[in-house]
Structure 1
Amino acid sequence: MEGKFRFQLLQDYVESNKCNYVFVAEDATSSISRIDYDATLNSFIGFSAPLVNGVPQSNFFQTENFEQLELWFNDIDKAKFINLYMLKSLTLSAPPFILSAYGSNNKAKAIEILRRWLFIHDQCLIQGVHVIGFSSDADARYLRAMRLCSRFFATLPNFNIFKHNAPYHV
């Protein structure tokens, strides 16, 4: 399901690998823009998912109204990229786990990326899974999010990332 994070399946993943410490990787790859209708979800797929606190809204494009669909085609960006989130257990032989995939216009700001990382971190903790790090390519927005997170020549005056402290015990 586009834009849905599969946190409910994490428990099975970490139990099968006997390790609840993971690393999260994110990457976006270009795709051919195309709108499809998923009859099982009654949803249109291929538009750029809107972000709320950096998190894509799954199944956002559901309608029975032709005018609404026409408005989306005229006003909403079609996804030109697919964002993919993968988790990898620290166990060497463990396969990666697809956490989420969704269409994107690749216009997210660094603060949205940071909020998405915090969302993933917090949701994983709820499942008893400890995220020890995030990785991405050298996209400037992701590097800025990393700088904000580490306070490396960047700060957020209205957003305290350090209130989200979850100590690690290995």
Structure 2
Amino acid sequence: EDSTEVIRKIKYDARTNSFVGFVSPLDNGVPMPQSFKINSFEELKMWCDTREKAPLLNVHIVQPIPSISDQNKIPTSFILSAYSVNNKLTENDVLCRWKFMFENHFKRQIRIISFSTDKYEQFYISYI
């Protein structure tokens, strides 16, 4: 898990009929999908007047572990999720999100061995 600074801007995603670039609302640390699905121009205007444009993009990257029978072939990493955030995450948000990810992958018989992140304070405190 890592965050990177982005240019603050709002873009329309025609595939989901929603806007991206606002700070994603969290539910127990988990971003709520398609929170900015558009219903009217007035709704978009209200969001622009009251919602924060995200300064950061949070990304979860997965690195699969090679199977015992094929240890010489390293699987390719891939992006699991990416969503807009600000720097107001709490340690509890991070821990709840990691717990959610662990439990939901476990249900699908995907085992998460560990989580890692950079030195971003809220993530670092979660390790302690």
Q: TM-score, normalised by structure 1?
A: 0.69
Greater Cα offset, 119-128 or 67-76:
67-76
Give the Cα separation in 2 of the matches to 1:112 and 1:32.
24
In structure 2, C-alpha distance between the alignment counterparts of 1:62 and 1:117, rounded to whole Å: 26
Aligned-partner Cα distance in 1 for 2:20–2:124: 29
- The separation in 2 between residues aligned to 1:139 and 1:72, in whole angstroms, is 28
Matched, 1:43 2:24: no
Secondary structure of 1:114's partner? helix
Q: What residue ranges of structure 2 are gaps of 5+ in the alignment?
A: 67-72
Identity of aligned residues (%): 36
Q: Work out the CA distance in 2 between the residues paired with 1:46 and 1:125.
A: 30
| 1:28 is the counterpart of 2:9 | no
Partner of residue 77, structure 1: 52
Alpha-carbon offset, residue 71 of structure 1: 1.5
In structure 1, the residue matched to 2:69 is none
- Aligned to 1:134, the other structure's residue is in SS state coil
**Aligned equivalents of 1:49 and 1:33: distance in 2?**
13
Is 1:145 equivalent to 2:126 in the alignment? yes
Matched, 1:110 2:85: no
CA–CA separation in structure 2 for the residues paired with 1:120 and 1:61: 23
SS of 2:115's partner is: strand
1:17-63 deviation per Cα after TM superposition (whole angstroms, max 9, x unaligned) = xxxxxxxxx00000101101112211011111100010001111012
CA distance in 2, matches of 1:126, 1:106: 31
Aligned to 1:133, what secondary structure does the other structure show? coil
Displaced runs of 4 or more, over 3 A: none
**One-letter amino acid of the counterpart of residue 35, structure 1:** I
Higher relative contact order (CA 8 A, sep 6+): 1
1:54-101 Cα distance to aligned partner (Å, 9 max, x none): 000111101222222111111111111111101111226111121101
Cα RMSD between the aligned structures? 1.2
SS in structure 2 at match of 1:71: helix
TM-score, with structure 2 as normaliser: 0.90
Alignment: residue pair count: 122
**Mean alpha-carbon deviation: is it higher for 44-53 or for 68-77?**
68-77
